[in-house]
Amino acid sequence: MSEYIAPLKDMQFVLRELADMDAVSALPGHEEVNAELADAILEEAGKFANGVLSPLNWTGDREGAKWKDGEVTTAPGWKQAYSQFVDGGWNALSCPTEFGGQGLPHIISAMVEEMWNASNTSFMLCPMLTRGAIEALQLCGSDEQKAMYLPKMVTGEWTGSMNLTEPQAGSDLAAVRTKAIPQADGSFRIHGQKIFITYGEHDLTDNIIHLVLARTPNAPEGVKGISLFVVPKFIVNADGSLGERNDVRCVSIEHKLGIHASPTCVLAFGDNAGATGWLVGEENRGLEYMFIMMNAARYGVGLQGIGLCDRATQRAAEYARTRVQGVEQGGKSRDKVAIVRHPDVRRMLMQMKSRTEALRAVAGVTAAAMDLAHGHPDTDVRKAQQAFVDLMIPIVKGWSTETALLVTSLGVQVHGGMGFIEETGAAQHMRDARITAIYEGTTGIQAADLIGRKIARDGGATIGAVIAQMEAVRAELAAADDAQLAAIGASLEAGIAALKSGVAFILAHQGEAIRQAAAGAVPLMELFGIVAGGWQMGRAALVARRQLKAGEGDGAFLKAKLLTARFYADHVLSAAPGLAHTVLHGADAALEMADEAF
């Protein structure tokens, strides 16, 4: 088994050179957060990932979570690791200071979360969903609810869960049937069943705070009649102590392809008198509130994809450097060489490396925009940055996770036959990655969100502003008087042209021809992601070349960054025109095919 090493140099590069850490540090409340502090936090987080979480990943996959008589026992070592996680203050990293959090910027917590996802995806799911629940309650809950739940959720003493899905209501939440019956004391009795609830039951904490979508009597049909309720596993007394067990029961946990150590629960609410819950915010606005938690979770799942890409890349690279097989092509020696010397293995490793670094850069820039959207003193800046974040969430989630499927599969391929053997660990990354393109909104849902809410709703204004930034980088690459940068710029130019044509098609087909637009949504999402990655890799190449010329920085790292950007331009960004063709011309055959012909 290879050892996980946090990619600190690349993360520090993204923080300093691409995500503009200085701008984030200048925000009110973040004056003491500088690059040096970020480096120290990342280094300690890397030690925790390597020393605590990574060793449990294999055993967690082998042992998994266990269910018996309604109780869930986590995998061996999980409780001890979670205690260390909480004691180290990691759960509170970016949580609000008013409830005991450290209030650090998203740009730092995003890098930390990537490490934890890389080292142990199943473990990281629990704190990820807790933080989403914290954000939803912070923004939508009453003062009483915030005071009752948030301090212990922030520390990690209690965890949170998100309860949307029902057997008949997957992506279509209009079909939610769980009922909420009002009581004289202002509470509600919750009756219904929820499925696919991550960490809906476990033994890590004394209490679990469930956020549940349900319908009140006479609520409007569809999504406009859904409300959000807070339903604790144990009722919390006025003094903060735990009272009686609520009428919530884990009926079973799922047996899954991957993330075996993360308990995926079927929860029954109100099999007896009814689970006691309290309305969060206003009635019939539940889906709106839940989307706060869901968007946080979607970004978090994107980080899962990036982390799995990085871990698969590290494992494949180590294997390639140590596995001796065959002689070097074109060489005179007949000595056997490590497979890293074979051109096709190098191609696969570069595919993995370049895509992972592009994903990290895009996610990092998006995280910095979250910080600016939240804390910048200028209202117009906050609004523009939030529009950028909203646009990029489906890219960070959808493109990153689809890329994770490719990268983890390549990781198996680099290992050859040994990749198909579980003991190498490569297969686990591929299995764990598969769910990331499904939960918290499938790739198709992300793409539909992108073309509808994020592109068409403002007539393409936000994506147009992003394309203008891409154009500026392309122009800088072209003007650099450097063959390497010029080649990257030429690929970016073609990618931008492809993206423009795809966006124009989507905008033109949002009315009566919506099915044509919808059929091209996923290819457009991939196109946008690839070009956004090219934009950031182009920026990275400019920085690397400038620092190399000035004799600054780590020369070996910067040369590798420049070559990685060039490879991305030639092997990944070069696919953009083909994807644009698919967006423009690929719908007819799919839409015209008879249902029975599939």
Q: Where are the domains of the chain?
A: 444-598
pLDDT average, residue stretch 360-371: 98
Within 8 A by CB and 6+ apart from 34, the residues are: 21, 25
pLDDT of residue 169: 87
pLDDT of residue 22: 94
Name the token pair of 343.
Answer: 């051109």
pLDDT of residue 210: 98
The answer to whether the CB of 107 falls within 8 A of the CB of 368 is: yes
Q: What is the DSSP string of 166-192?
A: BTTBSS-GGG---EEEE-TTS-EEEEE
Residue range 483-504, pLDDT digits in tens: 999 999 999 999 999 999 999 9
Among candidates 465, 473, 598, which has minimal Cα distance to 543? 473
Helix (H, G, I), strand (E, B) or coil at 221: coil
b or e along 404-439 (b: 16 or more beta carbons within 10 Å of the residue's beta carbon)? bbebbbbbbbbbbeebeeeebbbbbbbbbbbbbbbb
Q: What is the mean pLDDT of the chain?
A: 97
Residue type, position 190, single letter:
I
Contacts within 8 Å (CB) and 24+ apart, 96-103: 96/134, 96/138, 96/150, 96/154, 99/134, 99/138, 99/146, 99/150, 99/151, 99/154, 100/151, 100/154, 100/155, 101/154, 103/29
pLDDT of residue 460: 97
Residue range 306-334, pLDDT digits in tens: 999 999 999 999 999 999 999 999 888 88
pLDDT of residue 101: 96
pLDDT exceeds cutoff 70 at 1 = no
C-alpha to C-alpha distance for 130 and 158, rounded to whole angstroms: 8
pLDDT exceeds cutoff 90 at 293 = no
C-alpha to C-alpha distance for 118 and 235, rounded to whole angstroms: 35
pLDDT of residue 234: 99
C-alpha to C-alpha distance for 315 and 305, rounded to whole angstroms: 15
Residue range 391-450, pLDDT digits in tens: 999 999 999 999 999 999 999 999 999 999 999 999 999 999 999 999 999 999 999 999
Helix (H, G, I), strand (E, B) or coil at 408: helix
> Catalytic site residue 157?
no
Residue range 160-205, pLDDT digits in tens: 999 999 999 888 888 999 999 999 999 999 999 999 999 999 999 9
C-alpha to C-alpha distance for 484 and 116, rounded to whole angstroms: 35
Residue range 48-70, pLDDT digits in tens: 999 999 999 999 999 999 999 99
Residue range 266-287, pLDDT digits in tens: 999 999 999 999 999 999 999 9
Residue range 230-260, pLDDT digits in tens: 999 999 999 999 999 999 999 999 999 999 9
Contacts within 8 Å (CB) and 24+ apart, 574-577: 574/491, 574/494, 575/530, 576/494, 576/495, 576/498, 576/499, 576/527, 576/530, 576/531, 576/534, 577/494, 577/495, 577/497, 577/498
Percent of the chain with pLDDT over 70: 100
Question: Which is the catalytic residue, given 402, 440, 471, 592?
Answer: 440
Among candidates 458, 295, 297, which has minimal Cα distance to 390? 295
The answer to whether the pTM exceeds 0.95 is: yes
pLDDT of residue 332: 83
The answer to whether the CB of 317 falls within 8 A of the CB of 127 is: no
pLDDT of residue 172: 87
pLDDT of residue 407: 99
The answer to whether the CB of 286 falls within 8 A of the CB of 272 is: no
